[in-house]
Amino acid sequence: MRTTVGIIGAGPAGLLLARLLHRAGIASFVLESRDRAYVEQRQRAGILEQGTADVLRAAGAGERMDREGLRHDGIELRFDGRRHRVDFPGLTGGRAVTVYAQTEVCKDLVALQLEEGGPLLFEAEALAVEGAETGTPRVRFRHEGREDVLECDYVAGCDGFWGVARKAVPAALSRVFERTYPFGWLGILADVAPSHDELVYARHDRGFALLSMRSPTVSRLYLQVPTETDAADWSDEAIWDELERRLATEDDWRLERGPVTQKSVTPMRSFVHEPMRHGRLFLAGDAAHIVPPTGAKGLNLAVGDVVTLARALVHRRDTGSEELLDSYSETCLRRVWQAERFSYDMTTLLHPAPGATPFEDRLQVARLDRIATSRAARTDLAEAYTGFPLD
Active site residue ranges:
72, 201, 293, 297, 385
Report how far residue 115's alpha carbon sits from residue 19's, in angstroms, rounded to the nearest whole number.
11
Contact indicator for 50, 97 with CB cutoff of 8 Å: yes
- Tell me phi and psi for residue 77, to 5 degrees: -100, 135
Report how far residue 367's alpha carbon sits from residue 260's, in angstroms, rounded to the nearest whole number.
34
Contact indicator for 44, 168 with CB cutoff of 8 Å: no
- The letter for the amino acid at 38 is Y
Cα dihedral across residues 36, 110, 65, 291: positive or negative: positive
Radius of gyration over every alpha carbon of the chain, rounded to an integer in angstroms: 21
Report how far residue 378's alpha carbon sits from residue 368's, in angstroms, rounded to the nearest whole number.
10
Report how far residue 379's alpha carbon sits from residue 184's, in angstroms, rounded to the nearest whole number.
28
Tell me how far CA of residue 56 lies from CA of 9, 25, 100, in angstroms: 18, 17, 12
The size of the chain, in residues, is 391
Which residues face 7 on adjacent strands? 30, 156
3-state class (DSSP) for residue 316: helix
Kindly report whether the peptide bond that precedes residue 275 is cis, defined as omega within 30 degrees of 0: yes
Contact indicator for 160, 19 with CB cutoff of 8 Å: no
Burial of 159 (0-12, 13-18, 19+ CB in 10 A): buried
Report how far residue 379's alpha carbon sits from residue 385's, in angstroms, rounded to the nearest whole number.
10
Tell me how far CA of residue 334 lies from CA of 23, 73, 135, 165, 391, in angstroms: 27, 26, 27, 21, 11
Other C-beta atoms lying within 10 Å of the C-beta of residue 182? 11
In terms of Cα–Cα distance, which of 179, 249, 174, 181 is closest to 209? 249
Report how far residue 103's alpha carbon sits from residue 44's, in angstroms, rounded to the nearest whole number.
7
